[in-house]
Amino acid sequence: MPVAAGGAIQVVDATVSRQRVLATPATRRLARQLGVELGRVPPTGPHGRVTTADVQSYQSNGDAGAQAPAPAPAPQHAQLPVPAPITIPHSGDEERIPLRGVRRRIAESMARSKRTAAHFTYVEEIDMTELVAVRERARARAAERGIKLNYLPFIVKACVSGLKKWPQLNASLDETTQEIVQKRYYHVGIAAQGPQGLAVSVVRDADKRSIFDLSKEIERLGEAVRTGTATRDELTGSTFTISSLGKLGGVLATPIINFPEVAIVGVHKIEERPAVRNGQIVARHLMNLSISVDHRIADGWDGAMFLQDVKSLLEDPTTMFMEMV
């Protein structure tokens, strides 16, 4: 598998069939000039790419005796015809607010994600009791440094650890070259509500930060979002996203992937609920985590195993600290 300089990005061939012919613009131009149908040309280039030499050889040898291949089925991700716009007639007491600016960009981004990525969602219950105790013990030390410690930095750390084991979830699909780009850097997006709507601030190099450093950076970025002062660099470039509404996180949600990423985790509220431990009903601090994954790129196994790894780290914070670098 080819690896970019510095080992930051791994590119994996995602061509599973010849539904789409891979060729450079120069090769396509030559095929048009020679009257050659690219779909009939046996490819010899890397990743099943048709080269100019392939086109010239095919044109010279001709297709006598060659059996025309069956028409390739349409790619699964082909866009459906765009339906006609819906008109809402005036009726009674209404207020009409133009869809523009940030709200329109959010709408377009969410619609593109649902239209393109094949979403599936997996949910797991997490026993946060031990982590609640760890966070409570660490709050005083964090306060001495001016840090308001919450649970999100721990969740970020657990997710980064999981992404290192399941790199397919820290990736994007290059649709032009049909390559899966696995990223060896971990820029975690934090989706939160801002004054102009949903915003995703980006904690860069989350794998290289301590819990306290993550907490400071998340708070700094959150304040920038709330005040509308976040820069473009602070709002772009994430490789994986976590969506959290804090105490308002609800019981369960199916978050929409921050396209073109492959996965997003939804964090829900922690609350005391009855649980069975060693045959006894006891009160535990429980929380649900949900993960939405693009099924074009990752399998259900990847999403489920990733969340199981995250679960094991959050339920036993000692192992999380052992894995930190």
Any alpha helices (H) in the chain, and if so which ranges?
A: 25-34, 52-61, 101-116, 129-144, 152-165, 211-227, 300-315, 317-323
Pairing of strands 280-294, 119-127: antiparallel
Q: Is 194 left (phi over 0), alpha (psi -120 to 50) or beta?
A: beta
295 as an active site residue: the answer is: yes
CA distances from 148 to 55, 214, 236, 239, 301 (A): 64, 11, 25, 26, 36
Q: Cα(121)–Cα(254) distance, rounded to whole angstroms?
A: 6
CA distances from 146 to 5, 149, 209 (A): 39, 9, 17
Give the residue numbers marked as catalytic. Answer: 295
